[in-house]
Amino acid sequence: MTQWNAESMHRLAKLALDAGEVATPEEALELFSRYRLHLHLGAGWADTLAGQACFLTTLNSAVRAFLGGVVISGDLDQVLSVPLYEGRTVRAVTEALGGAVMERPASDLPTLVIGRVTGQLATAPFCIQLSWEGWCAAISPAADDTGLPCAEDNPLSGVAAAALGVNEAFLNVRGDLLEAGHRCVGLSLWHPLAIEDWQTEAHRGPALSYLPKSLWLVGLGHLGQAYAWTLGMLPYAPGERPHLVLQDFDRSEKSNLSTCLLLSEHDLRTRKVRAVAQRLEAVGFAIDMVERRFGPHHQVLTNEPTTALFGVDNTAARRDIDSAKFAKIVEAGLGSGYRDFRNIRTHTFPGAKRASDLWPPQADAQKAVELNDTYEKLAREHDDLCGMTQLASRAVATPFVGALASAMVLAEVVRPLHGGCIHATLDLQMKDLGYRTGSQPVRYQGLHTPHVQTGLQDRQAAVAADAVLDEEVMS
């Protein structure tokens, strides 16, 4: 047996151990190596930054979940415009993120389509279309041609559509839901509690016009990197990239590669905050780093960001939100077991309750880890009860869940900049979006996040000019 431990085990493949499906970590990885995915880029997919964000998030999250490989076909001759990959070609990015180009569509693999479906692709046994419109994101069977128009641009919805699509494909390959691939699923980030009528015109929201100018990100693990990734998809003009303070104290381990969207092999053993800062600074973001734990003595100083996004997984740090004096905080928590890892909960502060009320000191006590038969057998065989207990205690996690959480969290920041409401709490289950609950939306009364105008207007003007030029050349 390979020397497996909590720092090396793939965090999604771990669910097979937790569920008792396999007897060893090697068997878990062998099982996940059978999971493959096909991503097809149809006509018009790159016309919006939402489409580009959808492609990039689908690819980046899928390669970390489908260990048998992700293949890409279709319209590959595009140059990307989203800040994080501006000026890079689709083929180059596909290779960099671990995908493989396939010149002809593969009908024998679970297939996700971004853009208009062509040919016989839609007749594949599992083929769904990812779509968006304004603040709405959706997935639907490609053969039904019931997707959203994909015209009104908002990369938050592109990220959300990608997360929903990869989740649906994973449900399919795992056999976790018979309806997977045969249903329409979607939500509105403008009105996340709309369930039956989520895609109506009223819930598509206004045009995306403003973005946060400065933010403080606490925690650069699974969730924190999802926040940073999604910020890198938003339509910031080159001279208006945001100022971010990144706070984390931890170093990257092998297991983080399965959950963190901005890490790669060469980042191992480096501090997460430095790896993320390097990526974002390279595309014009202004970065300050804080390499220590967030704690009770944290105080916001003059000229520092007054809005914070929390991606920490311990109650003590969450409780200290009260004393930090941020004007606004949005935090998210995810399920951690093999049954509930798709669950998302967000909180926005100030709200009806204080953080110290939600996470009192008694919540810090850790429950004893109970080993299932698989872990007990491994502990006996290798005389390593401590190591197996540590491994069993680690959360099951995957970046397609973090990606959807990031879209929800950033929507709580961006929505009030457009006159929308906020939610003190939101709960969502990705397996069935019908199970959505939360506090009723209220008008935000606090200090607004400093913001800038988007660069969408300039991009739309450039796209229109290119279209006119193409028509003139053709005539």
Q: Where are the beta strands (DSSP E) in 235-389?
A: 243-247, 286-290, 307-310, 328-334, 343-349
Instruction: Name the active-site residue from 54, 136, 386, 421.
Output: 386
Structural contact between residues 100 and 72, judged by C-beta atoms closer than 8 angstroms: yes
For 184-199, give one letter per residue: b (16+ CB within 10 A) or e. Answer: ebbbbbbbbbbeeebb
Query: Could you tell me if residue 383 is left (phi over 0), alpha (psi between -120 and 50 degrees) or otherwise beta?
Result: left
Report DSSP letters for 84-109, one per residue: GGTT-BHHHHHHHHT-EE-SS--TTS
Structural contact between residues 74 and 105, judged by C-beta atoms closer than 8 angstroms: yes
Estimate to the nearest angstrom the gap between the alpha carbon of 6 and the chain centroid: 23
In Å, how far are 289, 308, 364, 461 from 294, measured between CA atoms? 12, 12, 15, 43
What are the backbone angles phi and psi of residue 346, rounded to the nearest 5°? -120, 150
Instruction: Assess whether 260 carries a catalytic annotation.
Output: no
For 391-428, give one letter per residue: b (16+ CB within 10 A) or e. Answer: bbebbbbbbbbbbbbbbbbbbbbbbbbeebebbbebeb
What number of other Cβ atoms are within 10 A of residue 117's Cβ? 20
DSSP character at residue 41: E
Token pair recorded at residue 356: 């110290």
The CA-CA-CA angle for residues 333, 413, 267, to 5°, reads 55
Catalytic residues: 386
